[in-house]
């Protein structure tokens, strides 16, 4: 992410930069486009656009610097923001935009068919009493996708608590799907968050009929802890920074290492998204376990690894800790990733290798998509040929 903005300067610029910065804190630079230019560089598509997996989030930020009545100002600027969101949507999804400039990857092709899920966000930086944006400005309902209106203070609160893509996107979906039973007011998002948390236990079985009681209980508990802000204040939060650190350093490739010169550069985006889908609770749990494995590997000098699978996303993840030379650990990681792909029948599997606790830290990443062939599966199960590896129960 970019450095945090400094207050001052042109009216509204700080508020816009602050909202963009919080988006980067949640999604990382890989997926956030600040003030993306239109085709030909004339004008901009929006104040921010987030393109993450199958979700497109279009953002408009308005700041009040005049003494005008807050409600009159809000109605005027909501009208302007709706017009701009319609423009962004038309440019992106009616075939006018074929590529965007990504702050990490440079020029990237844009395929509108990829983004089945769209959201609009309007951020109003102003001081005002709570009000119902939909009632005050019914034109919000004319957009062909859900639109969420927040004050800047509410937006900061929301992205402080739901500070990963895996936390924020589900919350936006819940907030829209539950709208009939919520009293959604601008300048009062803390109340809306609490209402969503109160209703989530009864709501989830309606949209996920196959959810088991165990998964429901765990999901509700984690969501309520996140919504209350307890996760962000937890002492264990620091363990989740292990996953954040991996995402931030995916692009720090050492060109002297042969395997970094092979493969498709877009694999880095797949790995980044695969890790970014992990919500804060899972990052804490995985980070804590990885820390324990790093300590164990430092003591016994052995290889330690574990896997994690999310059925909802179809992504399997493998984490390997080893003191072996990086070329060897990458070879082992390829085996483990293939084994995870086969074991879980996953859509994709990604792996991260690192060394035991000590001086310095490096990561190697591997990703694989698609099906494992019957021949590979048999070799994995029998530990033969390319897939031979001294660890027992590699595939079990």
pLDDT tens digits for range 289-301? 999 999 999 999 9
Mean pLDDT to the nearest integer, 121-141: 95
Domain that holds residue 296: 237-387
- Domain match, 53 and 181 both: yes
- Domain match, 228 and 108 both: yes
What was the pLDDT predicted at 361?
Answer: 81
Evaluate whether residue 218 is within a structural domain: yes
Report the alpha-carbon angle 302-319-53, nearest 5: 170
- Domain match, 229 and 248 both: no
Per residue, the 3-state secondary structure of 278-321, as one string, reads CCHHHHHHHHHHHHHHHHHHHHHCCCEEEEEEECCCCEEEEEEE
Mean pLDDT to the nearest integer, 194-222: 95
- Domain match, 206 and 290 both: no
Which residues, 6 or more positions from 165, have their beta carbon under 8 angstroms from its beta carbon?
26, 27, 31, 52, 53, 276, 277
Taking CA atoms, 251 is separated from 105, 122, 269, 313, 374, in Å, by 9, 31, 9, 23, 34
Q: Are 60 and 35 in contact (CB under 8 A)?
A: no
- Domain match, 281 and 133 both: no
Which run of H or E residues covers position 13? helix 13-27
What was the pLDDT predicted at 387?
Answer: 46
Name the pLDDT band for 391 (thresholds 50, 70, 90). Answer: very low
The helix-helix angle for 374-382 and 326-344 (nearest 10°) equals 110
Q: Cα separation of 392 and 396, whole Å? A: 9
Evaluate whether residue 52 is within a structural domain: yes
Beta-bridge partners for 349: 316, 368
Q: Are 321 and 333 in contact (CB under 8 A)?
A: no
Q: Cα separation of 274 and 21, whole Å? A: 22
What 8-state DSSP symbol labels residue 246? H
What was the pLDDT predicted at 371?
Answer: 84
- Domain match, 108 and 247 both: no
Backbone angles phi, psi at 166, to 5 degrees: -70, -15
Mean pLDDT to the nearest integer, 13-18: 94
Name the pLDDT band for 258 (thresholds 50, 70, 90). Answer: low
Q: Cα separation of 16 and 145, whole Å? A: 22
From 195, 210, 233, give the residue that closes a domain.
233
Evaluate whether residue 394 is within a structural domain: no
Which residues, 6 or more positions from 261, have their beta carbon under 8 angstroms from its beta carbon?
255
- Domain match, 118 and 198 both: yes
- Domain match, 224 and 243 both: no
Evaluate whether residue 86 is within a structural domain: yes
Structure tokens at 322: 């080893």
Evaluate whether residue 2 is within a structural domain: no
Evaluate whether residue 3 is within a structural domain: no
From 170, 200, 233, give the residue that closes a domain.
233
What was the pLDDT predicted at 255?
Answer: 58
- Domain match, 251 and 164 both: no
pLDDT tens digits for range 52-71? 999 999 999 999 998 999 99
From 233, 263, 294, give the residue that closes a domain.
233
Report the alpha-carbon angle 324-272-60, nearest 5: 160
Structure tokens at 169: 């996107």
Structure tokens at 313: 């996303």
Taking CA atoms, 360 is separated from 257, 354, 355, 357, in Å, by 17, 10, 9, 8
- Domain match, 43 and 85 both: yes
Residue 386 in this model has a pLDDT that exceeds 50:
no
- Domain match, 174 and 294 both: no
Evaluate whether residue 90 is within a structural domain: yes
How many C-beta atoms lie closer than 10 Å to residue 53's C-beta?
18
Q: Cα separation of 179 and 135, whole Å? A: 13
Residue 112's CATH number: 3.40.91
- Domain match, 247 and 287 both: yes
Q: Cα separation of 350 and 277, whole Å? A: 13
Number of domains comprising the chain: 2
The mean of the pLDDT values for the chain is 89
What was the pLDDT predicted at 50?
Answer: 96
What 8-state DSSP symbol labels residue 186? B
Evaluate whether residue 154 is within a structural domain: yes
How many C-beta atoms lie closer than 10 Å to residue 163's C-beta?
22
Report the sign of the C-alpha dihedral through residues 221, 205, 183, 23, in that order: positive
Q: Which of 52, 66, 45, 65 has the alpha carbon at shortest distance from 23?
A: 52
């Amino acid at each position: 992410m970019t450095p945090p903005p400094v207050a001052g300067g042109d009216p509204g610029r700080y508020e816009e930069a602050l909202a963009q910065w919080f988006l980067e804190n949640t999604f990382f630079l890989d997926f956030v486009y600040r003030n993306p230019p239109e085709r030909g560089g004339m004008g901009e598509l929006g104040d921010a656009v987030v393109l993450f997996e199958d979700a497109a989030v279009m953002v408009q930020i308005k700041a009040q610097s005049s003494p005008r009545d807050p409600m009159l100002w809000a109605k005027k600027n909501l009208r302007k923001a709706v017009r701009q969101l319609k423009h962004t949507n038309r440019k992106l999804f009616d075939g006018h935009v074929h590529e965007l400039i990504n702050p990490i990857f440079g020029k990237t092709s844009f395929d509108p068919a990829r983004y089945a899920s769209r959201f609009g966000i309007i951020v109003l930086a102003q001081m005002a009493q709570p009000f119902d944006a939909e009632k005050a400005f019914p034109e919000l309902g004319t957009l062909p996708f859900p639109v969420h209106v927040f004050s800047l203070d509410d937006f900061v609160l929301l992205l402080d608590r739901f500070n990963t893509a895996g936390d924020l996107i589900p919350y936006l979906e819940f907030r829209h799907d539950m709208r009939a039973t919520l009293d959604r007011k601008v300048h009062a998002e803390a109340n809306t968050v609490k209402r969503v948390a109160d209703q989530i236990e009864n709501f989830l079985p309606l949209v996920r009929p196959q959810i088991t009681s165990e998964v429901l209980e765990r999901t509700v508990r984690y969501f309520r802890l996140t919504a209350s802000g307890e996760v962000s204040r937890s002492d264990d939060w620091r363990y989740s920074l292990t996953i954040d650190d991996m995402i931030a350093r995916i692009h720090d490739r050492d060109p002297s290492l042969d395997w970094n010169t092979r493969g498709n550069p877009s694999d880095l985006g797949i790995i980044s998204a695969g890790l970014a889908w992990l919500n804060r609770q899972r990052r804490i749990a995985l980070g804590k376990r990885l820390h324990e494995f790093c300590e164990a590997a430092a003591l016994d000098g052995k290889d330690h690894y574990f896997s994690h699978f999310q059925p909802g996303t179809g992504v399997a993840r493998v984490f390997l800790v080893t003191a072996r030379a990086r070329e060897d650990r990458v070879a082992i990681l390829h085996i483990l990733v293939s084994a995870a792909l086969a074991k879980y029948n996953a859509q994709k599997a990604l792996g991260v290798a690192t060394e035991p606790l000590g001086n310095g830290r490096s990561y190697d990443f591997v990703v694989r998509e698609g099906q494992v062939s019957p021949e590979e599966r048999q070799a994995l199960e029998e530990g033969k040929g390319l897939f031979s590896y001294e660890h027992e129960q590699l595939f079990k």
